[in-house]
Amino acid sequence: MRDKYFGVLLLCSIRPQFPAVFAFSTMQALSIRGLTKTYRNGVVALKGIDFEVGVGEFTALLGPNGAGKTTTIGIVTSLVNKTSGKVEVFGHDIDTQIEIAKSCIGLVPQEINFNQFEKIFDIVVNQAGYYGIPRRLAKQRAEKYLKQLHLWERRDDMSRTLSGGMKRRLMIARALVHEPKLLILDEPTAGVDIEIRRSMWEFLRRINQEGITIILTTHYLEEAENLCRRVAIIDHGQIIEYGRTKDLLAKLHTETFVLNLRQPLENLPPLDGYAVTQVDDTTLEVEVSKQQNINALFELLSKDKIQVLSMRNKVNRLEELFVRLVEGKG
């Protein structure tokens, strides 16, 4: 019921001229209905997508390359013209109220798209200006977000001198400077080292808790599993799965565990009911179905005097589900 908001007073972004919307019915941060996109070269990128994101949600949009994620985001942010369908951002139709809808969104695109010959501070301040924020306030906001994203010390440097991770953080600061209600991040942690990635997760978690709705596309499924309460999986231009992350993971019928053994194993004893593969002398891979009890597996191993040093999932659980869905293995 998290996405069922009744009587929400929604003030869209910082633009005071846009009337406060008293929504006494279900209010969605993003509502997409029957969205299709066919490119001029005939490529059908979206085949009628229906997708809703509730206010305050943290949602992942997953899919293999070319599935339609970036096209969907492009249409929502007006960088791509849709072929048909309806898109509403906080109740504002992008066909009739595009300016209000745009003011609600902050976008962190997949590709670096700021002027490489501009100073970091100027990039953020100018972006605020495009959203109608007076220069003095824009400078205050730029300082706030550049500090939060650990870029303040570099504010007078040319943006091209930043590292890959810093460039990503700059795009996040730029997307937040007009304080949007909906933040869309298209693979924000691609090519970023694990330390920076985790600090970015922390930052995103915090701003989501502060009330910003977040939509994230990522190839790091661990990222989606850790951050997002909801996950949509898109493939060949269609949403093939959408729901709470927990519910989706519950659909996994089997999980593969990797067991590291204390002693090298010469002959693999039969472990009745379990599909076991010996990877090397001290490593086993065991497939455990939902109906099976993992304690029983350990009992069998103990009986054969096999001591387990450690155990882990072979792949991230969401990754396993993702691969099964995309490969059509249910």
Partner 1 sequence: MFTRFRENYIGFETIVIKEVVRVARIWVQTLVPPVIQMTLYFLIFGGLIGSQVRRIDGYTYMAFLAPGLIMMSVINNSYTNVVSSFFGAKFGRHIEELLVSPLPNYMIISGYVVGGVVRGLAVGSMVAIVALFFTHLHIAHPLITISVAVLTAILFALGGLINAIFAKKFDDVTIIPTFILTPLTYLGGVFYSIQMLPMVFSEISKVNPILYMVNAFRYGILGVSDIGIGYAYVIILLFIVALFCFSLILLHKGVGLRT
Binding site for partner 1 (CB under 8 A): 15-17, 39, 74, 77-81, 98-100, 102-103, 105, 107, 109, 111-116, 122, 126-127, 129-135, 174
- Pairing type for strands 105-108 and 21-23 reads unpaired
- Cα–Cα distance between 136 and 114 in angstroms, integer? 22
- Cα–Cα distance between 186 and 260 in angstroms, integer? 37
Q: How far is the CB of 12 from partner 1 (least distance, A)?
A: 10
Identity of the residue numbered 121: F
Q: Which is nearer to partner 1, 58 or 114 (CB)?
A: 114
The three-class DSSP label of residue 288 is strand
Identity of the residue numbered 11: L
The 8 Å CB, 24+ separation contacts for 274-277 are 274/300
Q: Which is nearer to partner 1, 178 or 317 (CB)?
A: 178
Structural contact between residues 56 and 213, judged by C-beta atoms closer than 8 angstroms:
yes
Q: How far is the CB of 200 from partner 1 (least distance, A)?
A: 21
Q: How far is the CB of 326 from partner 1 (least distance, A)?
A: 25
Instruction: Give the DSSP H/E element, type plus range, for residue 46.
Output: strand 44-54
Q: How far is the CB of 73 from partner 1 (least distance, A)?
A: 10
Q: Which is nearer to partner 1, 132 or 243 (CB)?
A: 132
Q: How far is the CB of 33 from partner 1 (least distance, A)?
A: 21
What residues have CB less than 8 Å from 198, skipping those under 6 apart? none
Q: Which is nearer to partner 1, 98 or 276 (CB)?
A: 98
Q: Which is nearer to partner 1, 126 or 245 (CB)?
A: 126
Structural contact between residues 93 and 86, judged by C-beta atoms closer than 8 angstroms:
yes
Q: How far is the CB of 255 from partner 1 (least distance, A)?
A: 40
Q: Which is nearer to partner 1, 131 or 201 (CB)?
A: 131
